[in-house]
Structure 1
C-alpha cells in the first residue's frame, strides 16, 4: 500500500479492489484487469496477453539469532536434516517451485504466506525463505543460512489482456511502478479497479 498510495492519490477518479489470487486470473471473464505475479514461459507466450517485466524477487533462507544459538548454523544442505524448515509447499522451500527440491527434513512446517513465514522465523520456529529486504526490516537480527547453496529468484511480470493495450491508465500504472525504488515493490498485490471508463487495475504474483 505504501508503494501504490501516491498513484491512487494522483488518480482519484478510480477506486481499487485488491485481491489475493492463488492462480492466474481469467482475463476473458473480467476477473481482473491487471495481474502482477511470477508467470510460466507458456503464459508469457500467449498472444492475447501482454506481459512486461517489472522486478525480480530474490528469496534466501534465514533463521533468528536465538534459533541458531540453540540449534547451530547448518554448513551444508545435508545439515538441514537436524533443523525445522519452514516452506511454502510440501515439495519445495521456496514459492512457485516447479521442480520439487530434494531436501528432506525431520520436521517441516508449511506456510504459504510470506509475512507468516517471516513471523515464524522471527519467533525462533525454524529456518525459512524470505526476501532479503524483508529480513533487513525485521526487528530481530536474522541470520542468513546457506546463501550460496539455496536460493531462488522469481521474475515478476505486469500482465494484462491485449484488449487493454491502448488503455492509458493501464500504461500509466505500469510506468509508475517501474519508476519506484526496488524495495518498494515488496507486497503481494491484486487490484481490480472500478473506474468511470470501466477499467480494472490489478492482481497478484
Structure 2
C-alpha cells in the first residue's frame, strides 16, 4: 500500500488545524479541495482518519497513529531544510522550545527579546506546558526542565539552582504584621500549591509542614495548582507563599520574610536530543541561556 506524499502533507496540516477550512487557509487551497484530498487518502488506505461533525474534526485511532508518524517526518524534513539554509554566521530556521508555564511566562519571556534581536532569522515558538513534552517524539526541539532529565540519552546542560523563599505583599504585611519566627506562621494566612504537586517543584508545600508536627500540618487559606497563580495571590495580599526565585523577579510589591529559614531548592537544565547536537540554532540558544543564567543574581 503506497501513501501519496502530497496527501500525507495535507493530512498533517488538517490534523494540526482541526478543520478543512483552517487547513485550506494554511495550504492556500479551498475547503473542498482539502476535503477531497483527505477522502482520497482514506479511500487509498481503506481506513477512516477523521470523524466529521459540525464542530470540526476528530482523529480516529488510526488517524492519530498516522499523525504521529507524519509529524516526525515533517519535523525531520524541517530540520534538514533549516540545517541546509543555516549560514555560518547567522543560524536560521524554526526552534520549538518547551518549559513550564511558571518559568516560561516569567524568567524566559522577560529575556527572549534580546535573543530574537540577535538572531532574527530564527523562528522561535515557545510551548508552555506543565506536562513534559516528549523530545524523542519531536513534540519540541529543546526543553528547559526544572529537574535533571530522566532520559539518559538526552544532552543536558545545567543552568542554575533555583531557591524557594517566603514572600508576602506589602499590603498583607501592613494588615497582618511581619512574622518574626517560624512559629508565627501559625497565626498567618498561607498559600500553597495543593496536592498532588508536580515532582519537578520538589517540596513546594513545605510551608504547610515547616515547624509543625508531621501529623498536624498547617492549613492554607488558599491552594492554587500553578506557581504563577500562587505568586499572583500573594501579590494581591491573600497570604504568605513559598515561591521560587525566578517567579518573584521584578515584583516590587512582594517582600521576602523569614529570610534566614532554610527552604527547598532544585536544579534547572537545558535539554535537547542528540540529533540536534550539531544544530546552530540549538547551539546559540544554549549559549544564550547559559550566559543569562550566569548573569542572574539569586
Q: TM-score, normalised by structure 2?
A: 0.52
Partner of 1:109: 222
Between Structure 1 and Structure 2, whose CA radius of gyration is higher?
Answer: 2
Gaps of at least 5 residues in structure 2 are 1-108, 211-216
Structure with the larger strand share: 1
Q: How does 1:1-205 map to 2 (within 5 A)?
A: 1-40=109-148, 43=150, 46-90=151-195, 96-98=201-203, 101=206, 102-103=209-210, 104-132=217-245, 135=248, 137-140=250-253, 142-180=254-292, 181-182=295-296
Looking at structure 2, the residues matched to 47 and 132 of structure 1 have their Cα atoms a distance apart, in angstroms, of: 28
Q: 1:98 to 1:64 in 2, by over 3 A?
A: closer
SS of equivalent residue, structure 2 residue 171: helix
Structure 1 residue 113: Cα displacement: 3.4
Q: 1:50 to 1:66 in 2, by over 3 A?
A: same
Looking at structure 1, the residues matched to 172 and 200 of structure 2 have their Cα atoms a distance apart, in angstroms, of: 23
Q: 1:86 to 1:100 in 2, by over 3 A?
A: closer
Structure 1 residue 105: Cα displacement: 2.4
Structure with the larger helix share: 2
Structure 1 residue 134: Cα displacement: 5.4
Gaps of at least 5 residues in structure 1 are 187-205
CA contact (8 A) 1:118 1:130 kept: yes
Q: TM-score, normalised by structure 1?
A: 0.72
Structure 1 residue 133: Cα displacement: 6.8
Moved more, 19-28 or 71-80: 71-80
Looking at structure 1, the residues matched to 110 and 256 of structure 2 have their Cα atoms a distance apart, in angstroms, of: 27
RMSD: 2.9
Q: With CA pairs under 8 Å and 6+ residues apart, which has the higher RCO, 1 or 2? A: 1
Looking at structure 2, the residues matched to 99 and 59 of structure 1 have their Cα atoms a distance apart, in angstroms, of: 8
Q: 1:51 to 1:2 in 2, by over 3 A?
A: same
Looking at structure 2, the residues matched to 136 and 12 of structure 1 have their Cα atoms a distance apart, in angstroms, of: 27
SS of equivalent residue, structure 1 residue 128: strand
Moved more, 99-108 or 54-63: 99-108
Structure 1 residue 129: Cα displacement: 2.4
SS of equivalent residue, structure 2 residue 264: strand
SS of equivalent residue, structure 2 residue 282: helix
Looking at structure 2, the residues matched to 138 and 95 of structure 1 have their Cα atoms a distance apart, in angstroms, of: 23
